[in-house]
Amino acid sequence: MKKVIILGSSGSIGLQTADICLQLKDKISVVGLSVRSKTEVLKKQIKTFKPKAICLEESADNFSNFKNWIKINSPKTKLFFGAVGLEKLVSSVEADTLVAAIVGAAALKPIIAAIKTKKNIALANKEIVVMAGAEIMKLAAENGVSILPVDSEHSAVFQCSRGEDKKQIKNIILTASGGPFYKYDGDFSKITADKALKHPTWKMGRKITIDSATLMNKGLEAIEASVLFGLPIDRIKIVIHPQSIIHSLVEYVDGAALAQLSNPDMRLPIQYALTYPRRMPSKFIKPLNLAALSKLEFFEPDFKKFPCLKLAYSAANAGGAQPAILNAANETAVEAFLDGRILFTDIAKIVEKTMKLFKGIKKTGIDSLIEADLAARKKAHSLIESAESNLK
Ligand code: MG
């Protein structure tokens, strides 16, 4: 029996993880759960999984009704609150794997706590790898735990490089659906949040859907791949593949390229991370019908139309705190765009300006990266405010 903690169990990845755990309930038991504030989802999951402990990521003051509910319905379940509670949940509950499905930098401290208490990480959060990837990989190696990618592209690379000598990898080729605008020729500044939230092939959370529309998601994924698989950023290539059937490829020195194909469904990479090194039958994944696939297309990405992609590569090339700053500014700008405060095209501008302002920071180490992250957010906020006043 594999014991699993799911952080962010009411989000898109969290819900799909819960589906898989339920389907494999004789192999996997869910011992811990966390949500930000969706107590109705959490109540159902508590009834299904009877976890040892749970955490509500906001302050305890917001949940007095829920506290009563727990007392009556699941008195043995330990209850934690807030960011500190999340770390306590992760380190106090015994488990084999932590599924990190919280969006953004908030996942960093709980993941570190999990690694230190010898839990493998099924990683659905690319932001923290971008922010502090080298530190996380080092800590994981020191503690003998595995980082198992849940991101579909990185899972594909992971699957295509199993048992191979990593030194024989020439390039990693990440595929990108291109998002809703890769063929769009209109005015990018007129793109609204509603339009950007309509992704053609993947159903995902709001933040990542906007990142897919700006292609920042692919830029973050390139940095993530470079960290997870130990390749310099210039050997991480990107190709637009609108059908999202090939999830990524690994090109070897002899000219062979191995690819992983499936219908686009996150439950495949999630399940692989949970059952690794084994594969299990899945009732969720529709088998590929190759004859029915009329075509698979591939295009070069357009770095001019999608400046976020270029920014991500230059952050990776600059190294130091620049990837953390890129990520912090992007998270802040995407939030402001979703709130209707800035234009679609302002996202890249705010990221670029913030990166320039913090060019000098070369320090690494988790504490200084957290510091750089906070400072970049603050700066991005003030840039957002001036972008807003320009819009009025
Ligand atoms: Mg992905």
Q: For residue 356, how far is its CA from the centre of ligand 1 (angstroms)?
A: 27
SS3 breakdown of the chain: % helix, strand, coil, rounded to 5?
55, 15, 30
Q: CA 283 to CA 306: how far, in whole Å?
A: 37
Q: For residue 50, how far is its CA from the centre of ligand 1 (angstroms)?
A: 31
For residue range 130-148, list pLDDT tens digits in order: 999 999 999 999 999 999 9
Strand order from edge to edge, sheet including 246-252 = 236-240, 169-176, 246-252, 257-261
Q: For residue 57, how far is its CA from the centre of ligand 1 (angstroms)?
A: 25
Q: For residue 151, how far is its CA from the centre of ligand 1 (angstroms)?
A: 5
Q: CA 79 to CA 98: how far, in whole Å?
A: 18
Q: For residue 384, how far is its CA from the centre of ligand 1 (angstroms)?
A: 27
> If residue 49 lies in a helix (H) or strand (E), which one and from where to where?
helix 39-49
**Of residues 367, 378, 376, the one with CA closest to residue 322:** 376
Q: CA 37 to CA 63: how far, in whole Å?
A: 9
Tokens (6 digits) for 370: 């957290």
Confidence at residue 365, expressed as pLDDT on a 0 to 100 scale? 86
Domain 319-392 of CATH type 3.90.1170.20: no
Q: CA 116 to CA 87: how far, in whole Å?
A: 11
For residue range 190-245, list pLDDT tens digits in order: 999 999 998 777 777 889 899 999 999 999 999 999 999 999 999 999 999 999 99
pLDDT band for position 283 (cuts 50, 70, 90): very high
347 with 355: CB under 8 angstroms?
Answer: no
Q: For residue 75, how far is its CA from the centre of ligand 1 (angstroms)?
A: 39
Q: For residue 53, how far is its CA from the centre of ligand 1 (angstroms)?
A: 30
C-alpha 249, offset from chain centre = 19
Q: For residue 172, how far is its CA from the centre of ligand 1 (angstroms)?
A: 14
What percentage of the chain has pLDDT greater than the value 90?
89
Q: For residue 217, how far is its CA from the centre of ligand 1 (angstroms)?
A: 7
pLDDT band for position 295 (cuts 50, 70, 90): very high
Q: For residue 204, how far is its CA from the centre of ligand 1 (angstroms)?
A: 10
Q: For residue 163, how far is its CA from the centre of ligand 1 (angstroms)?
A: 23
Q: For residue 153, how far is its CA from the centre of ligand 1 (angstroms)?
A: 5
Q: Which whole-number Å values give the CA distances from 364 to 46, 131, 371, in the listed order?
A: 39, 10, 10
Q: For residue 202, how far is its CA from the centre of ligand 1 (angstroms)?
A: 9
85 with 55: CB under 8 angstroms?
Answer: yes
Judge whether residue 392 has pLDDT over 70: no
Q: For residue 67, how far is its CA from the centre of ligand 1 (angstroms)?
A: 36
pLDDT band for position 363 (cuts 50, 70, 90): confident
Q: For residue 78, how far is its CA from the centre of ligand 1 (angstroms)?
A: 33
* Amino acid at the residue 277: P
CATH code at 2-149: 3.40.50.720
Q: CA 81 to CA 62: how far, in whole Å?
A: 10
Confidence at residue 62, expressed as pLDDT on a 0 to 100 scale? 84
Confidence at residue 198, expressed as pLDDT on a 0 to 100 scale? 86
Q: For residue 272, how far is its CA from the centre of ligand 1 (angstroms)?
A: 15
Query: What are the domain boundaries of the chain?
Result: 2-149, 151-310, 319-392
Give the residue with greater pLDDT, 365 vs 232: 232
User: CATH topology of 2-149 equal to that of 319-392?
Assistant: no
